Amino acid sequence: MTAADDIDDEADRERSPAGPFDAASRDAVYRAIASRRDVRNEFLPDPVPDDLLRRLLAAAHCAPSVGLSQPWSFILLRDVQTRRAVADIVARRNEEAAAMFEGARAEHYRRLKLEGILTSPLNVCVVADRARGGLVVLGRTHQSDVDLYSAVCAVQNFWLAARAEGVGVGWVSIFAPDDLHEVLGLPDHVAVVAYLCVGFVDRLHVRPELEARRWAERTPLADVTFDERWGRASDLFDREADAPLPTLSD
Ligand SMILES: Cc1cc2c(cc1C)N(C[C@H](O)[C@H](O)[C@H](O)COP(=O)(O)O)c1[nH]c(=O)[nH]c(=O)c1N2
C-alpha cells in the first residue's frame, strides 16, 4: 500500500459543525448525566420494545474504542430460565460478599438490594472479545486492559441513552470473572464486563441509593481534582457550589 492509499479522501474531508449545542440540547445531555441512577428495585414489568432496545444498543455501539477495535458484544437475556441461573450464582456470591464485611457493616450489607435480575424484564450482558482487532491493536500495545475500558464506555453510553428513554439500568457485578461463562456458553477469550438489569422505571432516586441507605457518600468534586503535583486544584472550585451540573429533582 502506498502513502496515497492510506487515506479515504472523501471520508477524510467530511466534517460536522463542532460548536456547542443549543441550550436545551446541552441541558438535556447534562440532565441525563446527572439524573442517571443505578436501579435495583422498582422495575416495571413492561417489556422493552425492540425499536427502543435497538436505539440503546446503537448508542452503546457508538462508544469510543481502542484502535477502533469495538471489542464489545451485547448478550440479550430475556429468557427467565437463564436469568434464574445467573440470579442463583449472584445470590451465592452475595452471601460470600456479606461475609467479607465485619459486624454491623455485614448486617447493613445484607439489607441492601443489589440486583434486579428477575424483577427487570431484560438483562444485557456486555462482554469484551479480547481477541477482536487481532494480536496487535493500535493503542493497546502496552496496556492490555484498554479493550475492557472501551467496553465500559459502551456501557455508559447505553446507561445514558436509557435514562433519556425512561429506562432504568442496574449494574450487577457480584460474581467472579468466570462465573457466567458456563451459563452463557462464553468462549475463554471473552470477558464479562458488565451485567445489566434493564427495564422501564417511573421514578428514580434523586441521590444514589447507596447514599440514601447510608452505605456511602458522594465525594465533592474538589476532593478528586488535582494539579500536576498531586495537589488539590482548589482554585477551580467554590466548595459551596461544587458540581456545576444542574440540581434535578423532577
Ligand atoms: C463497575 C460497577 C459495578 C457495579 C455498580 C456500578 C459500577 C460502575 N453498581 C452501581 C453503583 O452502586 C452505583 O453506580 C453507585 O452507587 C452510584 O449510584 P448511581 O449510579 O449514581 O445511582 C452496582 N450496584 C449494585 O447494586 N450491585 C452491583 O453489583 C453493582 N456493581
Query: In ligand 1, which atom is closest to the CA atom of 37?
Result: 22
The model carries a pTM of 0.95
Per the listing, cell 452475595 goes with: 94
Query: In ligand 1, which atom is closest to the CA atom of 174?
Result: 29
Q: In the predicted model, is pLDDT for residue 169 greater than 80?
A: yes
What is the DSSP pairing of strand 72-77 with strand 122-129? antiparallel
- The pLDDT assigned to 242 comes to 55
CB 150 within 8 A of CB 69: yes
Nearest CA to ligand 1 atom 6: 171
Query: In ligand 1, which atom is closest to the CA atom of 210?
Result: 16
Q: Is residue 147 part of a domain?
A: yes
Q: Is residue 137 part of a domain?
A: yes
ipTM: 0.99
Q: From CA 155, how far away is CA 32, in angstroms rounded?
A: 14
- The pLDDT assigned to 249 comes to 43
Nearest CA to ligand 1 atom 18: 208
Q: Which of 37, 156, 173 to mutate to test the pocket of ligand 1 (most atoms within 8 A of CB)?
A: 173
Q: Is residue 233 part of a domain?
A: no
Q: From CA 32, how far away is CA 204, in angstroms rounded?
A: 12
Residue ranges making up the domain that contains 46: 37-206
What's the whole-number average pLDDT of the chain?
A: 94
Q: In the predicted model, is pLDDT for residue 184 greater than 90?
A: yes
CA of 188 to the centre of ligand 1 (A): 26
Q: From CA 48, how far away is CA 196, in angstroms rounded?
A: 14
Question: With bands split at pLDDT 50, 70 and 90, how would you rate the model's confidence at 248?
Answer: very low
Other beta carbons within 10 angstroms of residue 42's beta carbon come to 20
**Ligand 1 neighbours (beta carbon < 6 A):** 37-38, 40, 114-115, 171-174, 208, 210
Q: From CA 196, how far away is CA 117, in angstroms rounded?
A: 8
Mean pLDDT of 160-189: 98
Other beta carbons within 10 angstroms of residue 104's beta carbon come to 8
Long-range contacts of range 85-94, CB-CB < 8 Å, 24 or more positions apart?
Answer: 85/183, 86/117, 86/123, 86/175, 86/180, 86/183, 86/195, 87/115, 87/117, 87/118, 89/175, 89/179, 89/180, 89/183, 90/115, 90/117, 90/172, 90/174, 90/175, 93/174, 93/175, 93/176, 93/179, 94/174
CB 123 within 8 A of CB 196: yes
CA of 8 to the centre of ligand 1 (A): 42
Dihedral (Cα; 102, 103, 109, 111), 10-degree rounding: 170
Q: Is residue 3 part of a domain?
A: no
Would you state the cell numbers that stand for residue 191, as one nine-digit string? 470477558
Q: In the predicted model, is pLDDT for residue 195 greater than 60?
A: yes
C-alpha triplet 19, 24, 29: angle, nearest 5°: 75
Q: Is residue 248 part of a domain?
A: no
Query: In ligand 1, which atom is closest to the CA atom of 112?
Result: 26
Query: Rounded to whole angstroms, what are the CA distances from 196 to 11, 27, 60, 200, 216?
Result: 35, 26, 13, 13, 22
Q: Is residue 49 part of a domain?
A: yes
Mean pLDDT of 21-36: 97
- The pLDDT assigned to 246 comes to 57
- The pLDDT assigned to 250 comes to 41
Q: Is residue 221 part of a domain?
A: no
CA of 246 to the centre of ligand 1 (A): 22
- The pLDDT assigned to 239 comes to 59
Q: From CA 206, how far away is CA 212, in angstroms rounded?
A: 9
Domains held by the chain: number: 1
Looking up residue 156, the CATH number of its domain turns out to be: 3.40.109.10
Q: Is residue 116 part of a domain?
A: yes
Q: From CA 93, how far away is CA 219, in angstroms rounded?
A: 28
Give the percent of the chain with pLDDT over 90.
Answer: 90
What is the DSSP pairing of strand 72-77 with strand 190-200? unpaired
Dihedral (Cα; 190, 196, 200, 203), 10-degree rounding: -160
- The pLDDT assigned to 237 comes to 81
- The pLDDT assigned to 97 comes to 98
- The pLDDT assigned to 243 comes to 56
Nearest CA to ligand 1 atom 30: 172
Give pLDDT tens digits for 1-26: 677 789 999 999 999 999 999 999 99
- The pLDDT assigned to 7 comes to 95
Give pLDDT tens digits for 63-115: 999 999 999 999 999 999 999 999 999 999 999 999 999 999 999 999 999 99
Give pLDDT tens digits for 198-211: 999 999 999 999 99
CA of 171 to the centre of ligand 1 (A): 6
- The pLDDT assigned to 244 comes to 59
